[in-house]
Structure formats: structure tokens, C-alpha cells
Amino acid sequence: LGEPPPAGTVADPVVMAFLRRQRRLEEQNRRREASLAQRLHRFLRKKFYLFRRSALMTCISLRNLALGRPPLQQLAQEVAFANWRGEEEEARPEGGGGGQGDPEL
């Protein structure tokens, strides 16, 4: 219990749901027990990445309006770069895939 199944085995959906729920509960407990400095750091980090994503997506949208839509692959790379959340997401393999590919614009 508590460990993900080995890479070669087919996981039961009920077991995977249970493990996700357990991880979520552990994360909630860690957040509740965090110090004020840790909470402030987490808050500022979330706001930074929210602002960063908003600014990048706005720039991408304005460029697309002015110059037309770029190739789909380039657009996908730019959106993936805008969605990237740093080492926080790289630590979580299910984090939405923000660390995939080359994050350059």
C-alpha cells in the first residue's frame, strides 16, 4: 500500500483511484501543517505562475491576431511553455505534462 504498482503491471482502476485519494489526503495534511512562511511561499508561487501564464498566453494571442496563426506544432510548444510550472510539476508525473519537450518559444 502507498506505493505505485510496478511499471509492467496493469493496475486496477479502483486501486489507482484509492492511491490518488490517499496522495491527495496526504498533500492536504501537509498543507494544513505548513508554517506561515511555507504557506506564503506557496501562495506567491501559485500567483507568479498564474500571472506568467496569463502574460504569455496574452502575448501569444496578440501575436496570432497580428501575424496569423503559426504552425500547430509551434503553437503547441508555446502553450506547453506557458503552462509549465517549474520543478513542482516535474516532481509529479501526472501534473499535466508541462515539462514535456523543449520549453523554448
C-alpha cell at 76: 503547441
pTM over 0.85: no
3-state SS of the chain: helix, strand, coil percent to 5?
A: 65, 0, 35
Phi first, then psi: give them for residue 59, nearest 5 degrees. -60, -45
Amino acid at site 56:
L
The domain limits of the chain are 13-47, 48-89
Residue 100: per-residue pLDDT: 41
Query: How does pLDDT run across 13-51, given as a tens digit for each residue?
Result: 888 898 899 999 999 998 889 899 999 999 999 999 999
- The answer on pLDDT for 4 being more than 70 is no
Q: What's residue 98's pLDDT? A: 41
Q: What is the pLDDT of residue 95?
A: 44
Q: Residue 102, class by beta-carbon neighbours within 10 Å (0-12 exposed, 13-18 middle, 19+ buried)?
A: exposed
Angle at 26 between CA 24 and CA 27, to 5 degrees: 65
